[in-house]
């Protein structure tokens, strides 16, 4: 048993190192920082006793479509809100949300209030992105669904590189 302790410690440290490596990834870090900024800028502050919804981030010019990039970014933002202690409603388990195969959870405005009421949701995190030859511009908002009031907004420019280009192009046909 004594011989197993060093092995178990090494495995534990290796798994921690892998987690740290993921949080250092530039795309993940950008998503986490954007979520942090949204929370810091929100007026009034968001209490942690009511849930949030994070919708799939969509292309600014095609609001009913999202490439894998939009789905990945919204998942990362939802992860960060969860890490900060906010209860996040998982939309992929709901049948009443507009979900297109390979497109993600695209909230139709008429459904936001219904879903919000059903889950006592205090806010919805929405986002759009647009691309230029060298950047992806991501715009995020926290919106109160009862009156569509924007409680917080934050914009980020992400480098268009091999990884982000692949996520943009991986949209299913």
Number of domains in the chain: 1
Q: What is the mean pLDDT of residues 36-64?
A: 91
Rounded (10°) angle between helices 68-83 and 26-41: 60
Residue 126: domain span: 26-169
User: In the chain, what is the straight-line distance between the N-terminal and C-terminal CA atoms, in Å?
Assistant: 54
Answer yes or no: is 3 within a domain: no
Answer yes or no: is 1 within a domain: no
Answer yes or no: is 15 within a domain: no
Answer yes or no: is 125 within a domain: yes
> The CATH number of the domain where 162 resides is what?
3.40.50.10610
Summarised one tens digit per residue, pLDDT across range 53-85 is 998 898 888 877 778 999 999 999 999 999 999
- Report pLDDT for 27: 94
- Mean pLDDT across the chain: 80
Q: What is the mean pLDDT of residues 3-12?
A: 48
The CA R_g of the chain, rounded to the nearest whole Å, is: 18
Answer yes or no: is 57 within a domain: yes
- Report pLDDT for 90: 86
Q: What is the mean pLDDT of residues 72-100?
A: 80
Summarised one tens digit per residue, pLDDT across range 101-139 is 444 444 545 566 677 777 789 999 999 999 999 999 999
> Who's near 154: CB < 8 A, 6+ residues apart?
34, 37, 38, 41, 139, 140, 141
Q: Is 3 exposed, middle or buried (0-12, 13-18, 19+ CB in 10 A)?
A: exposed
Answer yes or no: is 143 within a domain: yes
Answer yes or no: is 12 within a domain: no
């Amino acid at each position: 048993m004594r011989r197993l302790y060093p092995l178990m410690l090494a495995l534990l440290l290796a798994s921690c190192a892998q987690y740290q490596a993921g949080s250092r990834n530039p795309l993940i870090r950008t998503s986490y920082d954007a979520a942090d900024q949204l929370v810091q800028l929100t007026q009034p502050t968001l209490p942690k006793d009511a849930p949030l919804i994070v919708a799939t981030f969509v292309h600014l010019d095609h609001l009913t479509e999202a490439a894998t990039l939009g789905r990945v970014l919204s998942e990362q933002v939802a992860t960060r809100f969860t890490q900060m202690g906010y209860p996040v409603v998982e939309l992929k388990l709901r049948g009443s949300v507009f979900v297109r195969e390979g497109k993600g959870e695209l909230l139709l405005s008429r459904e936001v209030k219904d879903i919000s009421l059903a889950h006592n949701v205090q806010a919805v995190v929405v986002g759009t992105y647009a691309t230029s030859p060298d950047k992806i511009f991501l715009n995020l908002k926290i919106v109160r669904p009862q009156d569509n009031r924007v409680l917080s907004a934050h914009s980020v420019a992400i480098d268009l590189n091999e990884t982000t280009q692949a996520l943009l192009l991986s949209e299913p046909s």
